[in-house]
A and B are shown apart, each in its own frame.
Chain A
Amino acid sequence: MIVRKFVIWGALAQAAILEAIRRKDLYVAVILSVLMIGAAATIGSFGVKGLEIFLKDVALTVVNLLSILMAILFAARQIPEEVSRRTVYPLLARPIGRGDLLIGKFLGAFALSAVALLLFALIAAGALGYYGLSVGAIFGQYLLARLFSLALICAMTLMLSLFMTPSACVTISLLLTLGAQTFSQAVLLIYGPASATGKGILRAAYFVLPHLDLFDLSKKVSYGWKPVDSWVMGALLLYAALFSAVFLSIAMLRFRRQAL
């Protein structure tokens, strides 16, 4: 039974990956990252002394932004495109559940995002290495934490895509993802002077919305920190798994009885 499920999810994910590769989505993102990181790295030709942190910061910011963008774009189109293209009918005519389709699509979007992240990271590490800058052991943890956050972002975007139009889904997902850090800081600032009701709302929002800023170890990489304790990575994994499971469950509840 479990093996059969993995075969189904694997087949759906594989089709999603194959399609994205043939659509050349990844190529565009890779070219874009080479251009952006390359442009920033030209500063290094004037001598990198004193600019190490800046260069690392720029390279990792590009990796962060592009990987988030790719994850949202991949996940946002999975189900709506299946429905609008009508390819969902022959898929769901097979002996699979709608939940299987959602999980397969989630895995496909996550795998694509992971490949994109690794490509961007490779380009960034290559550009930094060209100027003799090393990223240190924490770079591995940075990538792992980004992978966890990408899983969460894919699950969230997939869920939102079942409630709104694709463009609205992309906009809201970008706002929630990129605004996560600002939101955390804003809550801390306005929590003190807020009324009791306001505090309740803020507290609820603080725990309901995912804190994607927790997964960003790029500053630690830029400033050459030592690797964080393994329990921190474990906690991040748990946090991402919990939120992803909640988002996918909401998506399943929505998709289960949706007329196609």
Chain B
Amino acid sequence: MNQTKLQTANVMAAGEPRAEASKNLPGGPPALCIENLCVGYKKSLFGTPNRVVHNLNLSVRPGEVVGFLGPNGAGKSSTIKSIMGFVVPETGSVSIFGHSAGSTLAKAKIGYLPEVALYYPFLTPMETLTLYGRLQGLGGSSLRDEAMELLERVGLKGKEKLQLKTFSKGMQQRLGIAQALLGSPDLLVLDEVSSGLDPVGRRHLRHVLNEIKEKGTTIFFSSHELDEVAQLCDRVLLIANGRAVDERVMDAQLRGGIGSALEDYFIETLAKQEAGTTREAGR
């Protein structure tokens, strides 16, 4: 098991000196670098924030495909929101290709799929992609062509003139994937990527993501579908109760089919973490 652990661990427990290591990755800045990230939400103006992410550190190399795993409420979405600049961290920093998270320079490099992808119900897919494209700095016939190509790629060809209020959840998710790919981003951040997709849609998505992976795009995604993760990822990071728990490089054993090694690894590691927490609390 130790052989499969990444030698230069990018994810460690709080306080360990891994931030410097991640900064010195070969080939320029990491695609994504999180250092000592703490995220909390205040219930009232003067209340103490309820911390949901504790001293999280991780880094993702350019071209890597990393799965971000954890049970519900582990802090995955809050971490992803920090990457996108939607929440301001209490402490710590997040950078994308060396640019501070939330800055326009950082966002220009990211394609993002939110956890629950919902789009303007009264716009058509083409209008939606045109809106996002214009905000991205694209325009003219190149934007129209790219939007058409993306709609075809995600299986929405022929539906470009329908208003989104007529779309099913799965179709909205497909549109979400199309908008995330708009402008060929260097880093794709996908929150619950296969949410709402049927088996055909999942296979389609896997095919699209594999194509993107082959082009060298960095992908950082969270998913509860471990089969999805097993087939796509180079590495998985585990988070529980807002803390980094473990990381593994994917190998043949972990990829070994649905509901097998990766699922066992996921559940066993979390169980160990839970047992450790209970022991510490008992002392």
Q: Please report A residues at the B interface, Cβ cutoff 8 Å.
A: 4, 7-8, 10-12, 14-15, 18-19, 22-23, 85-87, 89-97, 257, 259-260
Partner of A260, one of B81, B117, B163: B81
Asked if B148 lies at the interface with its beta carbon under 8 angstroms from chain A, I say no
**How far is B122's CA from A12's CA once the two chains are assembled, in angstroms?**
14
Closest A residue, CB atoms, query B163? A22
Partner of B86, one of A14, A85, A89, A96: A89
Asked if B116 lies at the interface with its beta carbon under 8 angstroms from chain A, I say yes
Q: How far is the CB of B106 from chain A (nearest CB, A)?
A: 8
- The 10 lowest CB-CB distance pairs between A and B, nearest first, are A93-B112, A94-B135, A22-B122, A11-B134, A89-B114, A95-B108, A95-B104, A260-B86, A95-B107, A259-B87
CB-based contact A15/B131 at 8 Å: yes
CB-based contact B118/A87 at 8 Å: yes
Partner of A11, one of B118, B131, B179: B131
A-B contact pairs, 15 of them (CB 8 A): A4-B137, A18-B123, A19-B123, A87-B119, A89-B86, A89-B112, A89-B114, A90-B119, A91-B132, A92-B107, A93-B84, A95-B136, A96-B104, A96-B135, A260-B86
Residues 89 to 113 of chain B near chain A (Cβ within 8 Å): 104-105, 107-108, 110-112
**How far is B104's CA from A15's CA once the two chains are assembled, in angstroms?**
21
**How far is B145's CA from A111's CA once the two chains are assembled, in angstroms?**
30
Q: How far is the CB of B228 from chain A (nearest CB, A)?
A: 21
Chain A residues within an 8 Å CB radius of B41: 259
Partner of A23, one of B114, B116, B119, B122: B122
Asked if B160 lies at the interface with its beta carbon under 8 angstroms from chain A, I say no
Asked if B17 lies at the interface with its beta carbon under 8 angstroms from chain A, I say no
- In the complex where A7-B139, A18-B123, A87-B118 touch, is A97 in contact with B104 (Cβ < 8 A)? yes
Q: How far is the CB of A253 from chain B (nearest CB, A)?
A: 14
Partner of A7, one of B81, B111, B120, B134: B134
CB-based contact B135/A11 at 8 Å: yes
CB-based contact A18/B127 at 8 Å: yes
- In the complex where A18-B123, A19-B122 touch, is A90 in contact with B136 (Cβ < 8 A)? no
Partner of A93, one of B105, B110, B127, B134: B110
